[in-house]
């Protein structure tokens, strides 16, 4: 075994650490700025740490935005939509993987084709449709287009194809029907795939911006990204205050990431490589 490829490369390490600092700097600067007053925040030369840290900017944010409401809105929309997306994806995935039925290949083809249609392509007619259905500015209008994912269905189908036939046959001999096999065998055996999909779905709903921006109007219904956009829109130059808002928005993400780091990176990877 040659030494040259297993040696510690100090140049590489230095590069990595500098890179890590650069990657984290924007977050650090956000927190630092949010604790400064307006004069210090814009000072030249900039101070790295606030000279007299205070929470005034956070109080101002709390005056403009109903933070609790925004959090509840984002959380409930994300949880419900994610749950429904997992349900619809795993059910359809089960049918495609485990049931023989007429028209299967055609319907599955339809799913594959729709996987190539990004939301951005259909926002205009989707908005018109929601207007016809009187669902503009409602959570139903916001959530309905996101409860189904062609990618999720495809992903769950792949996972469920991997279930050994013997287990299924044993269950059939015991008189189990599809609903029983689905809930007692297929779901428990595909928990890894389901949790990966769960993380991806939750993130994409939690972070979604374009569709909420189009479909929601009332401030009391808005989600966190919309709230931040409005905060910025109305206070274009009050950066310390905007940074207080973004700091508050980063906190839940950072906590979840610290707790689920491995699962999160893993799900991005599986989805990336299989999608």
Partner 1 sequence: MKYKRENLSATLFILPSFLPLVAFLIVPMLAAVTLSFAQWDLLTPPSWVGLENYFELFKSAVFWQTLKNSIVFILGYLPIVYTLGLAAALALNKKFVGSGLLRAAYFLPVITSWVIVSLLWKWILNPEGGVVNSLLSQIGIQGPGWWTSTTWAMPTVIIASAWKDLGYVMLLLLAGLQSIPPEYQEAAAIDGASKSQILRLITLPLLTPATFFVIVISLINNFQVFDQIYLMTSGGPEGSTSVIVQQIVKNSFDYGRMGYASALSMVLFVIILSITLVQIKLQKRWVNYE
CA 8 to chain CA mean position, Å: 37
Pairwise CA distance, residues 37 & 53, whole Å = 8
With contact defined as beta carbons under 8 Å apart, do 16 and 27 qualify? no
Task: Specify the residue, 42 or 53, whose C-beta has the smaller distance to partner 1.
Answer: 42
Closest CA to 37 of 247, 244, 232, 240: 240
Give least dist CB 216 to partner 1, A: 13
Task: Specify the residue, 167 or 210, whose C-beta has the smaller distance to partner 1.
Answer: 210
Number of C-beta neighbours around residue 183 at 10 A: 13
Task: Specify the residue, 71 or 127, whose C-beta has the smaller distance to partner 1.
Answer: 127
Closest CA to 111 of 126, 129, 89, 132: 89
Pairwise CA distance, residues 79 & 153, whole Å = 18
Give least dist CB 193 to partner 1, A: 16
Give least dist CB 136 to partner 1, A: 12
Give least dist CB 166 to partner 1, A: 20
Give least dist CB 247 to partner 1, A: 9
Task: Specify the residue, 62 or 268, whose C-beta has the smaller distance to partner 1.
Answer: 268
Task: Specify the residue, 77 or 239, whose C-beta has the smaller distance to partner 1.
Answer: 239
CA angle 23, 27, 29 (to 5 degrees): 110
Pairwise CA distance, residues 40 & 239, whole Å = 11
Task: Specify the residue, 163 or 229, whose C-beta has the smaller distance to partner 1.
Answer: 229
Pairwise CA distance, residues 145 & 215, whole Å = 11
Give least dist CB 77 to partner 1, A: 14
- Which residue intervals of 99-118 are DSSP H helices? 104-114
């Amino acid at each position: 075994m040659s030494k040259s490829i297993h040696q510690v490369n100090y140049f590489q390490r230095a590069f990595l650490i500098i890179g890590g600092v650069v990657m984290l700097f924007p977050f650090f600067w956000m927190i630092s700025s949010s604790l400064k007053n307006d004069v210090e925040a814009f000072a030249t030369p900039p101070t790295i740490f606030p000279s007299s840290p205070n929470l005034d900017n956070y109080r101002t944010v709390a005056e403009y935005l109903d933070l609790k409401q925004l959090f509840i809105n984002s959380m409930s929309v994300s949880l419900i939509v994610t749950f429904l997306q997992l349900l619809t994806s795993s059910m359809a995935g089960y049918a495609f993987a485990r049931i023989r039925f007429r028209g299967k290949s055609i319907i599955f083809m339809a799913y594959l084709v729709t996987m190539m249609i990004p939301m951005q392509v259909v926002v205009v007619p989707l908005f018109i449709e929601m207007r016809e259905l009187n669902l503009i500015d409602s959570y139903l209008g916001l959530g309905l287009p996101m409860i189904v994912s062609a990618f999720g269905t495809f992903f769950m189908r792949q996972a469920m194809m991997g279930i050994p036939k013997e287990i299924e046959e044993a269950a059939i001999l015991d008189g189990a029907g599809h609903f029983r096999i689905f809930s007692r065998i297929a779901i428990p055996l595909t928990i890894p795939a389901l949790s990966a999909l769960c993380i991806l779905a939750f993130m994409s709903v939690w972070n979604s911006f374009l569709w909420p921006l189009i479909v929601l109007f009332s401030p009391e219904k808005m989600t966190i990204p919309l709230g931040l956009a409005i905060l910025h829109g109305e206070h274009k130059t009050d950066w310390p205050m905007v940074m207080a808002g973004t700091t508050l928005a980063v906190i839940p993400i950072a906590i979840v990431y610290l707790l689920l780091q491995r699962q999160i990176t893993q799900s991005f990877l599986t989805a990336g490589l299989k999608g």
